[in-house]
Amino acid sequence: MDSPSRSGVFDAAADNRVASFTESISFDARLYSHDILGSIAHAKMLQEIGILTADEAVAIETTLLEIKTKIEAGDFQTNIALEDIHMHIEALLIDELGDVGRKLHTGRSRNDQVSTDFRLWVRTALDNVDQLLLNLQQSFVNRCHDDHDVILPGYTHLQRAQPVLASHYWLAYCEKLQRDRQRIADCRKRVNVSSLGVAAVAGTSIPINRDTTAELLGFDGVAANSLDVSSDRDFVLESAFVLSTIAIHLSGWAEEWILWKTAEFDFIDLPHEFCTGSSIMPQKINPDVLELIRGKTGRVVGSLQTLLMILKGLPLAYNRDLQEDKPALFDAFDAITACLNIAAPLVAGASLNREKIAASLDKGFLDATTLMEYLILRGTPQRTAHHLIGSLVAVATEQNVALKDLPLEEFQKLDADLDEDVYGVLGVQNAIAAFTSFGSTAPDQVAAQITAWKERLGL
């Protein structure tokens, strides 16, 4: 069967190799429900303007819903000659309704039909990812209660820097994920604009009502320029960027926990149902899930790169290159969805090795900055205090002791007026207690943030 898009102007059927090369049904079949949704809205609008009778509109809607049921039941065969899901559904409709089915495409083109379907799909997919991000945030916040008394070494340059509460660490990822959710919400605004009814490129002389279809489909408004929106894929690019940022955040978290799981760190135990073994080494408990989350970031970011190259240099308006946007974005959404589905239960099921962490906290002089600030509050200039504490760290390193284990006379070499009070800021517990600034790891600040996050996330 020739493609219905080949009109009488052609004097030959499409070469079979062309049909195989140009088909998209192999990947765009997943748009079926959105295509049917858009077509039902379009039929209702055509009834409103008198192109369809009420009976015809009802017949179209009923038949489209029957087609949807058949597809979902697996009673659906594809034919590459029909190219895409849109033509497959239309062909089934025409088989059932004849000329009534042929009226449905009035006032629209596959260009705006594809754009509309894809926007509907992306809107749903963004909402799903947002919910999964919320689930992951909730998993992190739920850890805060059980881990409230755990102090972790905070790192910069992967070198020990200052002590932080474990709950402060969990909330750091909530912040990252919240920015991801904000980007989703912002992206969704530009996704949720109707392109239906702009037809191929210039609009239509049929007196359609685009506001009607936009309202029926839950769009916030209609695109104002037919030439632009018939080829606009900014919403695809933006979605891919949002997903890439999420992937990078997940990859950074996965990398940290992979390190923490090593014998060298031994900070965390992962739930065994989210680990794998070795085919030859019986002792191995491998963090393969985290490694795959890290690895899938390449696919997601690669999808963004693919989309950028597809769109680079395209003239107005629609070009067939745009067919290639779907595999890239579908893959990015699939990868992120898979990662987020497994991330939340993994976070919930992991446990910190408290004794191992506590035993390691004297390493790295995590209280050195607090000691420096103690001198500053006593009137020592910051640069001077920085130099003095650096020299004291050198002494402690040479003696292989923590700062809190140095005798008072070593501190008095820095400032003769120092007394036993100096030990009140030494050690990780005292260092944590010394923090005061908003957004810091100070216990009262963290407690307030936990409360705020619980309210925000409905916990």
Round to whole Å and give the CA distance between 343 and 339. Answer: 6
Tell me which DSSP letter residue 12 carries.
S
Instruction: State pLDDT tens for residues 213-247.
Output: 999 999 999 999 999 999 999 999 999 999 999 99
Q: What is the residue type of 299?
A: R
Say yes or no to pLDDT of 5 above 60.
no
Tokens at residue 201, please? 């490129």
Does residue 3 carry a pLDDT above 50?
no
pLDDT in tens, 112-150: 999 999 999 999 999 999 999 999 999 999 999 999 999
Residues 425-446 pLDDT 10s? 999 999 999 999 999 999 999 9
Contact between residue 57 and residue 103 where contact means Cβ atoms under 8 Å apart: no
Q: Which residues contact 74 (CB under 8 A, 6 or more apart)?
A: none
Catalytic residue among 157, 205, 279, 437: 157
Confidence of residue 314 (pLDDT cuts 50, 70, 90): very high
What number is the average pLDDT over the span 82-102?
97
Residues found in the chain: 459
Cβ 93 vs Cβ 101: under 8 Å: yes
The half-sphere exposure of 186 on its side-chain side, counting CA atoms within 13 A, is 9
Please confirm, yes or no, whether 145 is among the known catalytic residues: no
**DSSP secondary structure letters along 21-71:** HH--HHHHGGGHHHHHHHHHHHHHHHHHTTSS-HHHHHHHHHHHHHHHHHH
Q: Which two structure tokens, joined as six digits, stand for 47? A: 């009834």
Rounded Cα gap, residues 365 and 172, in angstroms = 23
pLDDT in tens, 115-124: 999 999 999 9
Q: pLDDT at residue 455 above 50?
A: yes
φ and ψ at 276, to 5 degrees? -130, 170
- What pLDDT, on the 0 to 100 scale, is given for residue 428? 97
Helix (H), strand (E) at residue 414: none
Look at residue 426 in the predicted model and tell me its pLDDT. Answer: 97
User: Residue 262 half-sphere exposure, CB side, CA atoms within 13 Å?
Assistant: 8
pLDDT for 40 beyond 90: yes
Residue 297 corresponds to which tokens in the numbers above?
A: 């970031």
Distance CA(425)–CA(408), nearest Å, equals 13
Residues 84-97, mean pLDDT to the nearest whole number: 97
Instruction: Check if the beta carbon of residue 25 is closer than 8 Å to that of residue 85.
Output: yes
pLDDT at 280: 95
- Predicted TM-score (pTM) of the model is 0.95
What pLDDT is attached to residue 15?
Answer: 82
Nearest to 57 by CA among 39, 71, 70: 39
- 3-state class percentages of the chain: helix first, strand second, coil last, to nearest 5: 65, 5, 30
- List the domains of the chain with CATH numbers: 16-106 (1.10.275.10), 111-359 (1.20.200.10), 361-457 (1.10.40.30)
Q: Is beta strand 193-194 parallel, antiparallel or unpaired with respect to 221-222?
A: parallel
Tokens of 430: 């005292």
Instruction: Compute the distance between CA of residue 32 and CA of residue 86 in angstroms, rounded to an integer.
Output: 8
- Answer whether residue 254 shows pLDDT above 90: yes
Q: Does residue 230 contact residue 200 with C-beta atoms inside 8 Å?
A: yes
* Strand pairing category for 351-352 and 268-269: antiparallel
- 352-405 pLDDT tens trace: 999 999 999 999 999 999 999 999 999 999 999 999 999 999 999 999 999 999
pLDDT of amino acid 6: 59
Q: Are strands 351-352 and 221-222 parallel, antiparallel or unpaired?
A: unpaired
pLDDT value at position 147? 96
Instruction: Confirm if 383 and 418 have CB atoms less than 8 A apart.
Output: no
Terminal CA-to-CA distance of the chain, rounded, Å?
Answer: 57
Other beta carbons less than 10 A from residue 30's beta carbon: 12
Helix or strand (DSSP H, E) at 200: none
DSSP 234-257: HHHHHHHHHHHHHHHHHHHHHHHH
Residue in 20, 145, 272, 278 annotated catalytic: 278
C-alpha to C-alpha distance for 422 and 387, rounded to whole angstroms: 17
Q: What is the pLDDT of residue 13?
A: 78
Q: What is the pLDDT of residues 183-221, one digit of tens each?
A: 999 999 999 999 999 999 999 999 999 999 999 999 999
Position 11 scores a pLDDT of: 75
Mean pLDDT in residue range 103-108: 98
Residue 86 bears catalytic tag: no
**What confidence tens digit (pLDDT) does each residue in 47-67 have?**
999 999 999 999 999 999 999
Mean pLDDT of the chain: 96
